[in-house]
Amino acid sequence: MSDGSSFYITTPIFYVNDVPHIGHAYTEVAADVLARWHRQSGDNAWLLTGTDEHGQKILRTATANGVTPKEWADRLVETAWKPLLETVNIANDDFIRTTDERHEVNAQKFLQHLQTEGHIYTGEYEGYYCVGCEEYKPTSDLVDGTGDDAGVLVCAIHSKPVELLHEKNYFFKMSAFADQLLALYEANPDFVQPESARNEVISFVKRGLSDLSISRSSFDWGIKVPWDESHVVYVWFDALLNYITAAGYGQNDEEFASRWPATHIVGKDILRFHAVIWPAMLMAAGIAVPKQVFGHGWLLVGGEKMSKSKLTGIAPSEITDTFGSDAFRYYFMRAISFGQDGSFSWEDLSARYQSELANGFGNLASRVIAMVVRYCDGEVPLGGEPTEADLGIQATEKRVTDASAAFIDRLAIHEAVASVWELVDELNGYITLQEPWALAKDPATRERLETVLHTAVRGLGTLTVLLSPVIPVATGTLWTALGGTGALTDQRIDRAWGWAGGTHVTPLEPLFPRIESTVG
């Protein structure tokens, strides 16, 4: 990681037909942890999120609710999607809506450019369309319906009937980019990650690419095709462009050059849009492809992807109201291997909250600070000659600082957190073994007591800096109690191990209080 280099990271922009569930919040948190981490590494990190507001899915929901699609989108953005960012404590730098003028105008510019360069033609298309996915589906992605839908084909993801559409549309000559895409995956193995996602994308492109229908004329809720106002731009073509229209494309060349290309964090459900269609669009326009597309796994309920349409969605506030935003962030980043599916369970969340956050980290912080207050009047002692045990803690500080950074570079967030936790566990073990409360009883061991507390305070400081991207609230409180100077978010994470320590600590309330009621 080099000082000041651009780290532009994005989440998908979310459909506003419904309110968010914890699957959406999961993506937000992962991208936010990476952005915060890079910010504290001295990079010029920029986190973009936002909402996808055009297309048939939104239009139908709005109509069913008796309002215009724009009114519906405004309502959902203000009452649900922006509040989600507060609920799980996202420090985004920008929020783009596809109904923003900056997006609509510059998406048109992009399309016009492709048309001028000869990448667009008029054609006819007949196929099965899933409004839930906003996508024409190959028959291999369809299954026979059951119950009320017996006898018709349904989308394998949404379990809802697909619609047979026949339209005269504009097409993007995507098939022309198959070789270039394969060369990209080959030359840059990190372009699509994790490995399973990369393999899936490569074999998809190897099976052959068709051209992409990029306009619709049977409804008008979308961006107008610049040379033919009787068509609106296909919602995915429109949506993908948010990543560049939010970064200055078409409006501010300097800003765009300084930010682009981006790292895209997406769920594996929308991997092909990001790893195939999107780079092909950019290649056609002569714009650099993204730095990376990372497809994370799904939160599952009963073995299936959690979804609102299947009524399995859990609202993020159901968790944060009881456990707080830090616990939400910690749990999902720690308990699920980033890149793989994971099941959410209230029992697992409660157990980890209690053992890892409350007993493991929170208790460590409370105990160390309470002892410095009690035995040293709150003054952080300088300590004497370190013993092997003290040097062991220092070595672990350095080791986990380096190891967690290496994991973050590979987007292995769960491993980065697990690595930092080695220091939590080691410090707890160190305190149990050194018994500072016993050392405090005998004036002859005063210097040893001071060395132990000095070592523990420094270790805690290292933890505070390393954990600040994941649990920003608790670490912010702890930073103040430790007498840290400057803002915690300004502390370099790659130098967390060398934290010099504050001079004075102040009493600390429990960071993760006991939760009395049973939940779930």
Cis peptide before 261 (omega within 30 of 0): yes
Q: Pick the stretch among 20-28, 251-259, 457-465, 500-508 that binds ligand MSP (CB under 6 A).
A: 20-28
> Does 13 sit near ligand MSP (CB under 6 A)?
yes
- Spatial distance between the Cα atoms of 448 and 387, rounded to a whole number of angstroms: 9
Active-site residue flag, 296? no
Tally the residues of the chain.
520
Which residue's CB is nearer to ligand MSP, number 131 or number 239?
239
Which residue's CB is nearer to ligand MSP, number 93 or number 269?
269
> Does 69 sit near ligand MSP (CB under 6 A)?
no
> Does 52 sit near ligand MSP (CB under 6 A)?
yes
> Does 333 sit near ligand MSP (CB under 6 A)?
no
Nearest residue to 128 via CA among 109, 143, 113: 143
Neighbours of 68 (CB within 10 A): 13
Question: One of 119, 130, 137, 454 is an active-site residue; which one?
Answer: 130
> Does 27 sit near ligand MSP (CB under 6 A)?
yes
Question: One of 119, 133, 268, 274 is an active-site residue; which one?
Answer: 133
Q: Pick the stretch among 305-313, 359-367, 455-463, 511-519 that binds ligand MSP (CB under 6 A).
A: 305-313
Buried b (16+ CB within 10 A) or exposed e, 243-265: bbbbbbbbeeeeebeebbbbbbb
> Does 275 sit near ligand MSP (CB under 6 A)?
no
CB 440 within 8 A of CB 470: no
Which residue's CB is nearer to ligand MSP, number 339 or number 459?
339
> Does 270 sit near ligand MSP (CB under 6 A)?
yes
- Spatial distance between the Cα atoms of 178 and 200, rounded to a whole number of angstroms: 15
Q: Pick the stretch among 19-27, 180-188, 477-485, 512-520 that binds ligand MSP (CB under 6 A).
A: 19-27
Closest distance to ligand MSP from the beta carbon of 414 (Å): 14
Judged by CB under 6 A, the residue of 7, 12, 281, 356 near ligand MSP is: 12
Buried b (16+ CB within 10 A) or exposed e, 463-483: bbbbbbbbbbebbbbbbebbb
> Does 269 sit near ligand MSP (CB under 6 A)?
yes
> Does 14 sit near ligand MSP (CB under 6 A)?
yes
Nearest residue to 325 via CA among 41, 15, 18, 22: 22
Active-site residue flag, 133? yes
Closest distance to ligand MSP from the beta carbon of 236 (Å): 7
Question: One of 82, 160, 173, 308 is an active-site residue; which one?
Answer: 308
Q: DSSP 3-state assignment of 198?
A: helix
Nearest residue to 323 via CA among 348, 298, 294: 348
Closest distance to ligand MSP from the beta carbon of 442 (Å): 55
Sign, CA torsion 293/79/18/220: negative
- Spatial distance between the Cα atoms of 341 and 296, rounded to a whole number of angstroms: 8
Catalytic site positions: 21, 24, 130, 133, 155, 158, 305, 308
| Binding residues vs ligand MSP (CB under 6 A) | 12-15, 23-24, 26-27, 52, 239-240, 242, 266-267, 269-270, 298-299, 305-307
